[in-house]
Amino acid sequence: MTGQCFCGSVAFEFDGPTTDIEICHCSRCQRATGSPFAAEFRVRAEKFRWLRGAELISFFDAPILREPPAYRRSFCKKCGSPVPAVFARNPVVAIPTGLLDGDVPARAADHIWMAKKQNWLNLREIGTLPEYDGDPTPESSARLIEPLKLK
């Protein structure tokens, strides 16, 4: 199984087994991803390897709140996309699901840090919203930007 960053300069591969996916709503994951939550699964470190672009990876270790290791955000220096965070001597590598090239080989296990969940995110309601296979219909797009009163 393979994955890559937004610009494709950094790519990796791994083999199973994988853990299930943890959906984390903590404030650090929200800021690190720019999204309401982070969704990651883990693989054994020896089953993970960079295919290209390892020299383009930079990282930021956030101050340790409770105990090591630090919350590390690894990213591609070219496009800023998150990439898996690899620590020396850590037996596992966490892989953000959005980086994979194909289907994700794991399923959602749980939501953690729900106390920090963003207010707009209603997990019951979100499954009932209109769905489109691709771009929304012109009518739906028009309705969406209505409050902006663009002429």
**Mask: binding to Zn ion, 59-78, rule CB under 5 A, as x and -?**
-----------------x-x
Transcribe 18-53 into DSSP letters: BPPEEEE--HHHHHHHTSS-EEEEEEEGGGEEEEE-
Contact present, 74 and 83 (Cβ < 8 Å): yes
Q: How far is the CB of 5 from Zn ion (least distance, A)?
A: 4
- Report in angstroms how near the CB of residue 75 gets to Zn ion at its nearest: 8
Q: By rule CB under 5 A, what string of x and - marks binding of each residue 77-116 to Zn ion? A: -xx-------------------------------------
- Selection from 114, 91, 87, 99 nearest residue 33 by Cα: 99
Q: Give the shortest CB-101-to-Zn ion separation in angstroms.
A: 14
